[in-house]
């Protein structure tokens, strides 16, 4: 009886070793699993998986091996993933004429659908939030919210953000750079206006604060006046005095209240100031001529004594 039992055990273990030997092949210093002719130190024909009690992870190819995909999975494989936890994979796809070659894919907990968070195409186009990038860097939000695209933070936890807004409820094609002090720089809101420190710029370039510049060039469409033309109607000093007494500012110039309320047009104001300087010059010339005439009369009176 003991010989019969020993014979059964020997036969059983021999069969197991024979089955294992059929799956594992050694050729010199190369080992193959399900690969009769290994070409690498470890040559595996199939998937490689590591897992704990709940989460599988490993290296997989497309089911059946007919699609040229290589996945580095964490709780992602449809056959054995734990849906209570999220999953992710980094995928290399050699079907580069149809799909991006590198794909970063995510799956929400409790979901079976894939979300392509980032892809890289064969021609070097990086897509974030899009599966089909059309530019070298193509970033898309999953909603119409104004989400920050880039955030920069220093050691003091002071952050700066770069935004885009493209929803119908926001400013079309608006980009913003702003910090935690709410001092934004806006480009292209409201038909091409630019604002620094202003959320709603109503001019092509609007700054809330001081500007320091080495040079400012203002282009004017025409000269301001014809003060030196013979037909120009120059107000007399008496008329100017009467106007100032009544209005508290020079003729053709805005009042203090108007300048405080509306500001000034730099080019227009410079032309008006130039006009007043030219008018003042004409008055000075007129006074000089009157003084010469008085001197001549005084000299004649002295000579006739």
Alpha carbons 17 and 6: distance in angstroms, whole number = 17
Q: Do 54 and 37 fall into the same domain?
A: no
272 occurs within a structural domain: yes
Q: Do 66 and 116 fall into the same domain?
A: yes
- Give the tokens for residue 37: 């002719």
216 occurs within a structural domain: no
Alpha carbons 210 and 58: distance in angstroms, whole number = 59
- At residue 58, the pLDDT reads 74
Whether the CB-CB separation of 240 and 247 falls below 8 Å is answered with no
Of 190, 207, 224, the last residue of a domain is 207
- At residue 38, the pLDDT reads 84
Q: Do 120 and 161 fall into the same domain?
A: no
Of 90, 111, 140, the last residue of a domain is 140
Whether the CB-CB separation of 121 and 109 falls below 8 Å is answered with no
**Beta 137-139 vs 126-128: how paired, if at all?**
parallel
- At residue 244, the pLDDT reads 95
Q: Do 202 and 252 fall into the same domain?
A: no
Q: Do 106 and 169 fall into the same domain?
A: no
Q: Please, how many CA atoms are within 13 Å of residue 199, restricted to the half-sphere of its CB? A: 4
pLDDT digits (tens, 9 = 90+) for 21-61: 558 888 888 888 888 888 888 888 877 776 666 777 777 76
Q: Do 68 and 123 fall into the same domain?
A: yes
- At residue 78, the pLDDT reads 64
Q: Do 119 and 202 fall into the same domain?
A: no
The structure's pTM equals 0.49
229 occurs within a structural domain: no
Whether the CB-CB separation of 184 and 176 falls below 8 Å is answered with yes
Residues of the chain scoring pLDDT < 50: 2, 5-20, 168-173
275 occurs within a structural domain: yes
232 occurs within a structural domain: no
- At residue 112, the pLDDT reads 78
Closest CA to 89 of 102, 111, 104, 70: 104
- At residue 123, the pLDDT reads 92
Q: Do 27 and 52 fall into the same domain?
A: no
Q: In what order do the strands lie in the sheet with 56-61?
A: 48-51, 56-61, 69-74, 87-93, 102-107, 115-120, 126-128, 137-139
62 occurs within a structural domain: yes
Q: How many domains does the chain have?
A: 4
Q: Do 160 and 135 fall into the same domain?
A: no
Range of the domain at 154: 148-207
- Ramachandran area for residue 122 (φ above 0: left; ψ -120 to 50: alpha; else beta): alpha
Q: Do 53 and 126 fall into the same domain?
A: yes
Alpha carbons 52 and 65: distance in angstroms, whole number = 25
Q: Do 33 and 53 fall into the same domain?
A: no
Of 114, 140, 166, the last residue of a domain is 140
Q: Do 127 and 171 fall into the same domain?
A: no
């Amino acid at each position: 009886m003991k010989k019969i039992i020993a014979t059964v055990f020997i036969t059983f273990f021999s069969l197991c070793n024979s089955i294992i030997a059929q799956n594992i092949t050694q050729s010199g210093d190369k080992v193959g699993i399900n690969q009769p002719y290994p070409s690498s130190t470890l040559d595996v024909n199939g998937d490689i998986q590591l897992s704990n009690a709940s989460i599988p992870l490993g290296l997989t190819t497309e089911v059946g091996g007919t699609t040229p995909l290589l996945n580095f999975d964490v709780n992602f494989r449809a056959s054995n993933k734990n849906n209570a936890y999220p999953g992710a994979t980094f995928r290399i796809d050699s079907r580069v004429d149809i799909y991006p070659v590198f794909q970063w894919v995510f799956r929400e907990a409790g979901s079976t659908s894939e979300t392509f968070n980032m892809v890289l195409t064969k021609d070097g186009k990086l897509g974030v939030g899009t599966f089909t990038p059309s530019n070298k860097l193509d970033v898309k939000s999953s909603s119409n919210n104004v989400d920050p695209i880039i955030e920069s933070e220093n050691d003091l936890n002071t952050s700066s953000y770069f935004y885009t807004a493209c929803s119908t409820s926001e400013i079309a094609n608006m980009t913003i750079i702003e910090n935690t002090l709410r001092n934004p720089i806006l480009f292209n809101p409201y038909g091409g206006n630019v604002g620094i420190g202003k959320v709603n710029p109503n001019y092509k370039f609007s700054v809330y604060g001081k500007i320091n510049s080495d040079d400012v060039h203002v282009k004017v469409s025409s000269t301001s006046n014809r003060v030196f033309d013979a037909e120009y109607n120059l107000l007399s000093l008496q008329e100017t005095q009467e106007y100032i007494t009544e209005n508290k500012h020079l003729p053709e110039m805005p009042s203090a209240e108007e300048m405080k309320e509306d500001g000034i047009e730099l080019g227009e104001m410079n032309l008006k100031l130039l006009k007043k300087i030219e008018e003042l010059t004409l008055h000075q010339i007129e006074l000089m001529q009157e003084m010469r005439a008085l001197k001549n009369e005084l000299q004649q009176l002295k000579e006739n004594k």
